[in-house]
Structure 1
Amino acid sequence: MVQMKVRWMSRAAALWLCLLLTFCSVLPHQANAAAVTVTNAIQFKAADGTAIHAHGGGMIKVGSYYYWYGENRNPNGTFKAVSMYRSTDLKNWEFRSNILTSASAAELNISNIERPKLLYNQATGQYVLWMHKENGSDYGEARVAVASSPTVDGNYSYHGSFRPLGYDSRDMTVYNDNGTAYLISATKVNADLNIYKLTPDFLGVESLVQTLWPGAYREAPALFKRGSVYFLVTSGATGWNPNQAKYATASSISGPWSALANFADSTTYGSQSAYVIPVEGTQSTTYLYMGDRWAGAWSGPVIDSKYVWLPLRFPSNTTLAMDFSHSLSMDAAAGIVQGLPHSWEPNAVYKLISRKSGKALIVENGSATNGAALEQWNENTAGSPHWQLVDAGGGYYKLKNVLTGKIAGVSNGATTDGTAIVQWTDGNWTSQHWQPIHVGGGYYKLKNRATGKLIDISDASLSDGANAIQWTDNGGTNQQFQIVKSE
């Protein structure tokens, strides 16, 4: 009997040891697999390769999934759908459905639906969608619209549109504060910002809580709470053009609210606030700023807009800051999102996108001929928009076209403003060396080593086929480029 007992204990010990070794070997692998890298300030794509259209939207976590939703517009800018995607890691997004479309109600057939935001009402079991509604031709309606669904990614029933308590309403957001919900919306043609308390079912407006900063012209509100402090992020009202973001804090939504304070840079890194999502995990909580880089800033359609996501920093309990990063490391399970240090990868392939026009720098007609001119073209249709940055020493790089194998340089090494930028066989001339100089928000000036001048799109043109030339630095956005890694 003693022998049998010893034998049984040995087997049990062996089994526990085996399980322990298996657990220890699996755990680090899972931790490493959880972190993903996301390239910033581009048009994100879903798992099937299609562009994600969730502009001006928001995010809600249900179970293990993050659901991202937003504006999906027609090429002419009118409403097509509120589209929804889901992901567990914040990088790999699966299209779920168009939760509201232009066919959901007659008044949505010709309209603009902007800044959709979701609430979940635990008492009714309904997901409630609030939106800014316009008539598709101007901003004269200035209404909110409401829809609801028993499932987060189902078909939403449209409940109509109205002006909250008679106030005009433009850019807006909503916030659920432990079962009491609020609407925050720009009013008086964006001059003021109103906070309203919603009805218990979240489908209507019950009362006006407060008017914030009369005459300050703030829009694009994003409200979140960290600890016991409420933060309200807003943008200035400058149309499609980005501006300086500001924030204020309060210990209660009803106030008093602090004075507005700046964060990020003077253009919020070329973006406008849409939402702030707390990424809560096993190790930490990161507050992730979600912004839109609107294509209207370069006269493009809304569906060509890009996304800027950045983790917020909190120097104190009542202050915030935000730094630009070209790419992010995201570990949603751990709750850690952080910017990655930037360097040019020697074998990576990049696109050079004009800040002014949103178009890509290419070799004319994809020609392999020495002296072929560089010009701009739509990045999705161009034949040779891909470049490698080859280290030339001293912080300078050769721009090598992947299709032709040739190097971008100043024609004949001339120092004159207006000289064409052309491709040529690598001669190791300093007129073929370029220094990327970061000007903020992921944009760069490309300064020539020999001439000291910049690559410039001629006449600040927005047109396909406009020539790339060199010009003295004048601070123009036609002299600034986004260097985007091709994926």
Structure 2
Amino acid sequence: MLRILALVAAILMIPSPAQAAAVTITNGTQFADTSGAAVHAHGGGILKVGSYYYWFGENRNADDTFRAVSVYRSTDLRTWEFRHDVLTRTSATELQNAKIERPKVIYNASTGTFVMWMHKENATDYAEARAAVATSSTVDGDYSYRGSFRPLGSYMSRDITLYDDGAGAAYMISAADENRDLHIYRLTADYLNVQTLVGNFWNDNSREAPALFKRGSTYFLLTSGTSGWNPNQARYATASNIAGPWTAMTNVGDGTTFGSQPAYVQPVQGTAGTSYLYLGDRWAGAWSGPVNDSQYVWLPITFPTATTMSLTWYPTITIDTATGTITGNAPVRYRVTNRNSGKVMDTVSASTADNAEVKQYTWNSGTNQRWEFQETGGGYVRIINQNSGKCLDVSSAATTDGANIIQYTCGTGTNQQWSWRATGSYFQLVARHSGKCLDVVSANTADGADIQQYTCGTGTNQQWSRTVA
């Protein structure tokens, strides 16, 4: 009896995850794990096991070849603990020169096995178009590579996702026929292979990046178009049965899906109900960067009706996994005023183009004079123009005095990152890459005076204030 009581006491002393509190996530950034390192879970998916959300995704080398499938875990969907590289180049000979994309994991209760599916290519081209499978007895342990194949022996298979119906049936959805088609397959009972082709419902639609989820009695399949690394218009279809009939595709979000591509849709269930979280990748390839510089865009999905969905841009979102609620937070925008001239930072002619000049002008309430300060970590911010959605940028990442200030598509470059450094009751804006200050040329007080970077000094033409616009 004493042994039993001691065992019970020991079990009760095992720590369990703390109840998650509401957290805020900043969009269009790289996420950091609990060690401060960047989270590399690109093109990934999430599996909830117990109180933890496990996030699997791509971790690539600088040349975009396969390095690992990495997994992180969190109870609140913001605080990510790196757990393990569960699949690596050394896991199998076939992986030593490969590209592995869009890994997704589901659990097979009948076999007690975690099963990962992914898109596999060689390291030089996209001619293989194969699905690959790996398995593990633990969610974040080493996965054993089971090999790659074309579904049913002949169909090409590229961007993929998985769907588990919770009743013993699982499905794999993948782009086929050079990405012209989207196939839905039912998996075998052990989830290790394809059993049947359920259907090709979007023949010649050229859709990829599928994300399938079910809300109530309606299935939603979210996809992107095919435009390389460049973001495009997301579209979705619905059905009351996974075997169809499916509706035609409908646009959702804006024309670039807010600069992202779908990766996954994660239900968040809590005491107040279930919300649905859009997980998107803002691929660094769009600005010629390596995949591991890609950023994340996570947005709440809303449902105007039982069979329609909507995406709205928010610079930050608040997630409460305990209640199952996700809230989008409207951006705060500022006019940024130079102390010397009393004029504000302005994108010339309200241009929305890359390389448009940033100068000073008299305040006129225009959206081209309104700026959002978006945290990037480490005490730095990106400064984003409301009119264009582009970032305040030191041209060509120059580090010299007199380098021009422009707007440019937001990326991860430190020439788009600024510190807001107090100097008395005003502030200097200091470029991270150069350490130089935002400066009105020659302390000019006229409309249209140019703005540059310059060695920081005490001049009031380098001092700024910001006021909510």
Cα deviations by residue, 1:323-362 (Å, 9 ceiling, x for unpaired): 1111111111110111112215899852348999999548
8 Å CA contact retained: 1:398, 1:408: no
8 Å CA contact retained: 2:414, 2:431: no
2:210 pairs with 1:221: yes
Equivalent of 2:149 in 137, 142, 162: 162
Alpha-carbon separation, structure 1, partners of 2:24 and 2:203? 41
Alpha-carbon separation, structure 1, partners of 2:237 and 2:59? 30
Alpha-carbon separation, structure 2, partners of 1:132 and 1:358? 34
8 Å CA contact retained: 2:437, 2:453: no
Shift in Å at residue 407 of structure 1?
Answer: 4.0
Evaluate the alpha carbon distance shift between residue 124 and residue 359 of structure 1 in structure 2; reply closer, same or farther with a 3 A threshold. Answer: farther
2:47 pairs with 1:57: no
2:381 pairs with 1:350: yes
8 Å CA contact retained: 1:359, 1:379: no
Equivalent position of 1:181 in the other structure: 170
Alpha-carbon separation, structure 2, partners of 1:337 and 1:356? 24
Equivalent position of 2:460 in the other structure: 426
Alpha-carbon separation, structure 2, partners of 1:226 and 1:97? 32
Alpha-carbon separation, structure 2, partners of 1:436 and 1:245? 33
Amino acid of the structure 2 residue aligned with 1:255: G
Give runs of aligned pairs for residues 226-305 of structure 1, distance below 5 A. Answer: 226-305=215-294
Structure 1: gaps spanning 5 or more residues? 1-29, 391-396, 438-487
Amino acid of the structure 2 residue aligned with 1:154: G
Alpha-carbon separation, structure 1, partners of 2:468 and 2:228? 29
Three-state SS of the structure 2 residue aligned to 1:103 is helix
Amino acid of the structure 2 residue aligned with 1:175: Y
Equivalent position of 1:110 in the other structure: 97
Percentage of identical aligned residues: 51
Amino acid of the structure 1 residue aligned with 2:24: T
Equivalent position of 2:328 in the other structure: 339
Equivalent position of 1:469 in the other structure: none
Shift in Å at residue 121 of structure 1?
Answer: 0.6
2:69 pairs with 1:82: yes
Q: CA RMSD in A?
A: 3.6
8 Å CA contact retained: 2:393, 2:416: no
8 Å CA contact retained: 1:198, 1:204: yes
Q: Which has the larger radius of gyration?
A: 1
Shift in Å at residue 285 of structure 1?
Answer: 1.0
Alpha-carbon separation, structure 1, partners of 2:251 and 2:148? 34
Three-state SS of the structure 2 residue aligned to 1:201 is coil
Equivalent position of 2:351 in the other structure: none
- Structure 1 stretch displaced more, 218-227 or 281-290: 281-290
8 Å CA contact retained: 2:180, 2:207: yes
Equivalent of 2:429 in 378, 381, 400: 400
8 Å CA contact retained: 1:282, 1:333: yes
Three-state SS of the structure 1 residue aligned to 2:292 is helix
Alpha-carbon separation, structure 1, partners of 2:396 and 2:419? 10
Cα deviations by residue, 1:257-289 (Å, 9 ceiling, x for unpaired): 011000100000000000000000111211000
Amino acid of the structure 2 residue aligned with 1:351: R
Name the TM-score, length of structure 2 as normaliser: 0.76
Equivalent of 1:147 in 134, 141, 145: 134
Equivalent position of 1:324 in the other structure: 313
Evaluate the alpha carbon distance shift between residue 76 and residue 121 of structure 1 in structure 2; reply closer, same or farther with a 3 A threshold. Answer: same
Shift in Å at residue 94 of structure 1?
Answer: 0.3
Cα deviations by residue, 1:242-271 (Å, 9 ceiling, x for unpaired): 000000100011000011000100000000
Equivalent position of 2:418 in the other structure: 386
Evaluate the alpha carbon distance shift between residue 344 and residue 69 of structure 1 in structure 2; reply closer, same or farther with a 3 A threshold. Answer: same
Name the TM-score, length of structure 1 as normaliser: 0.73
Three-state SS of the structure 2 residue aligned to 1:34 is coil
8 Å CA contact retained: 2:41, 2:71: yes
Evaluate the alpha carbon distance shift between residue 48 and residue 160 of structure 1 in structure 2; reply closer, same or farther with a 3 A threshold. Answer: same
Equivalent position of 2:357 in the other structure: none
How many residues matched?
A: 396
8 Å CA contact retained: 1:125, 1:150: yes
